[in-house]
Amino acid sequence: MGSRSMGSRGMARLVVVSNRVPSPREVSQAAGGLTVGLADAIKGQPSLWFGWSGSSTAREGDEPVPTAIEQNGVTYATIDLTARQHKGFYQGFSNGILWPVCHYRLGLMQYSREELDTYLEVNARYARALKALLEPDDTIWVQDYQLFPLGAALRRDGVTSRIGFFLHIPFPPEQLFRALPGADLLLADLDGYDVVGVQTEQDAANMNGALQAVGVAVRAQAYPIGIDPKSFARQAARGETSKEMGRLTQALNNRALILGVDRLDYSKGIPERFRGFERLLQRFPAHRGKVSFMQIAPVSRGEVAEYKALRRQLDELAGRINGDWAEIDWIPLRYITRGLPRKVLAGVHRRAAVGLVTPLRDGMNLVAKEYVAAQDPADPGVLVLSRFAGAAPELGDAVLVNPYDPDEIAEALDRALTMALPERLRRWEAMNAAVTRVTAASWARGFLDVLNNVQVRQAA
């Protein structure tokens, strides 16, 4: 890895910081893109993974003492938060304020000065606890929007190591981001990092516009994240012969499957997608009784008000669409608010004639890439993809749609369901090449190569 500096332990140690720390088991069976990429990066080198334990039972006023376990050369160290900190930092500022703003939804932000203060307080708490665990040659890689200020907090505590930051979610245009009270503070704190990564060129342009506007020197660069396509394809092929797939075959009864898979989140455009499916039934009667739309939407952040409201809205919409359109032997929409095991999910992707991925805004969207990887190369399905997913620039051979327009979704669905094999093959081959080119592992390697080659800062 280039001119990586050598420390007392030989190779420089990699320190990953993320809000949630996966268990050693999750890392060894890494399924999601982030965990796959990072698991690959920490493999074969001494590493520390640091973050929140998932427990909010710490007592006010106590300094956090990290709990550490070591497995296969990786140390997993976590700290607890107090109930107040968890609420203000995680539910409040991270998910109730930063998440909507970064997804271009200022109107959904429930700003509170107190929550901003708690967010900064928790980042400072993380920095203090982490500093005690650091070695001089560590390379630190901070993940995502919960931790914008962590680098600067570490610098204030005297840390001079290389520190990188990767934002997994979109970064909106300058004017939009800076409507958030405290935005300039967060932007200024990005200067604590040596390398700042975002998903797309658009995010980089937006963030650099904002950094420039507030006179901060650091610049963002695009490092699009990927999946582990080989392993997902293998799981999908294997999943085909599973018991669950037999049940699905029976339930489908030769109908074409349209599939949506998303955390139940308002950024994913699920109500708009339901309406698009309904428009398909209204405007293209040939598909009535011939298609089945399955939406898997595991509940997420169920304690945040906006997410509760979304769930109610979807319950109602799904019930109404099925009530209006079902026949005695046909249910148009299957809506499941629980997660499926990964290997079943991979098999379902492969079975689906159409992957319907219509976020209103998304950092990348790994589901789109997983749908592509899961297809049968001899008879691939069609991906219908939102123009506003970070994956869209790489997956230009999908049928691209504006997710706000149910009619456009309906037209794209009709086109996908009737597309002839040669066109499906041509589109899939181009998309599969893109999904194979940039993987989770190459993403992590690409970022760390740049980070490990920056000049280490001098002690102040």
Active site residues: 168, 362
Note whether 263 binds ligand GDG by CB under 6 A: yes
Residue 23 or residue 212: which is nearer to ligand GDG going by CB? 23
Candidate segments 30-38, 42-50, 190-198, 427-435, binder of ligand GDG by CB under 6 A: 30-38
Q: Which ranges of 2-109 does DSSP label H, i.e. alpha helix?
A: 24-28, 33-42, 83-85, 99-102
Residue 53 or residue 95: which is nearer to ligand GDG going by CB? 95
Residue 194 or residue 370: which is nearer to ligand GDG going by CB? 370
The nearest distance, CB 62 to ligand GDG, in angstroms, is 32
Residue 161 or residue 202: which is nearer to ligand GDG going by CB? 202
How many Cβ atoms sit within 10 Å of the Cβ of residue 290?
A: 12
Determine which residue in the list 74, 183, 364, 448 makes contact with ligand GDG, applying CB under 6 A: 364
Note whether 434 binds ligand GDG by CB under 6 A: no
Note whether 198 binds ligand GDG by CB under 6 A: no
Note whether 169 binds ligand GDG by CB under 6 A: yes
Residue given tokens 């956090």 in the structure block: 64
Note whether 122 binds ligand GDG by CB under 6 A: no
How many Cβ atoms sit within 10 Å of the Cβ of residue 77?
A: 21
**Largest Cα–Cα distance of the chain, in whole Å?**
74
Note whether 234 binds ligand GDG by CB under 6 A: no
Residue 58 or residue 368: which is nearer to ligand GDG going by CB? 368
92 DSSP 8-state letter: I
CA dihedral 107, 112, 117, 119 (to 10 degrees): -40
Residue given tokens 């700042």 in the structure block: 196
Residue 270 or residue 281: which is nearer to ligand GDG going by CB? 270
Note whether 196 binds ligand GDG by CB under 6 A: no
Note whether 299 binds ligand GDG by CB under 6 A: no
Spatial CA neighbour of 82 closest among 98, 63, 66: 63
Q: Which ranges of 103-191 does DSSP label H, i.e. alpha helix?
A: 113-131, 150-156, 174-177, 183-189
Candidate segments 46-54, 358-366, 407-415, 451-459, binder of ligand GDG by CB under 6 A: 358-366
The nearest distance, CB 274 to ligand GDG, in angstroms, is 17
The nearest distance, CB 144 to ligand GDG, in angstroms, is 8
The nearest distance, CB 220 to ligand GDG, in angstroms, is 15
Going from the C-alpha of 145 to that of each of 103, 219, 356, 442, the distances in angstroms are 12, 17, 27, 22
Note whether 79 binds ligand GDG by CB under 6 A: no
Note whether 270 binds ligand GDG by CB under 6 A: no
- Sites for ligand GDG among residues 316-355 (CB under 6 A): 339-342, 345
- How is 369-405 classified by DSSP, letter by letter? HHHHHHS-TTS--EEEEETTBTTTTT-TTSEEE-TT-
The nearest distance, CB 41 to ligand GDG, in angstroms, is 14
Pairing of strands 67-71, 10-11: unpaired
Tell me how far apart the alpha carbons of residues 67 and 45 are, in angstroms, rounded to a whole number.
21
Note whether 33 binds ligand GDG by CB under 6 A: yes
Q: What is the side-by-side order of every strand in the sheet holding 399-401?
A: 333-336, 291-296, 256-261, 354-357, 382-386, 399-401
CA 308 from chain centre, in angstroms, equals 20
Q: Evaluate whether 113 touches 66 at the Cβ level (below 8 Å).
A: no
Residue 208 or residue 295: which is nearer to ligand GDG going by CB? 295
Note whether 213 binds ligand GDG by CB under 6 A: no
The nearest distance, CB 240 to ligand GDG, in angstroms, is 17
Note whether 370 binds ligand GDG by CB under 6 A: yes
Note whether 197 binds ligand GDG by CB under 6 A: no
Q: Of all helices (H) and strands (E), which one includes residue 139?
A: strand 139-143
Going from the C-alpha of 92 to that of each of 57, 68, 198, the distances in angstroms are 17, 27, 23
**Token representation of residue 12:** 């420089």
Determine which residue in the list 298, 393, 396, 446 makes contact with ligand GDG, applying CB under 6 A: 298
Residue 223 or residue 274: which is nearer to ligand GDG going by CB? 223
Residue 193 or residue 223: which is nearer to ligand GDG going by CB? 223
Specify burial of residue 106 (Cβ count, 10 A radius: 0-12, 13-18, 19+).
middle
Determine which residue in the list 27, 30, 48, 261 makes contact with ligand GDG, applying CB under 6 A: 261
Q: Evaluate whether 8 touches 42 at the Cβ level (below 8 Å).
A: no
Determine which residue in the list 39, 77, 366, 417 makes contact with ligand GDG, applying CB under 6 A: 366
Note whether 296 binds ligand GDG by CB under 6 A: yes
Tell me how far apart the alpha carbons of residues 348 and 350 are, in angstroms, rounded to a whole number.
5
- Interacting residue ranges for ligand GDG, rule: CB under 6 A: 31-34, 168-169, 225, 261, 263, 296, 298, 339-342, 345, 362-367, 370, 390
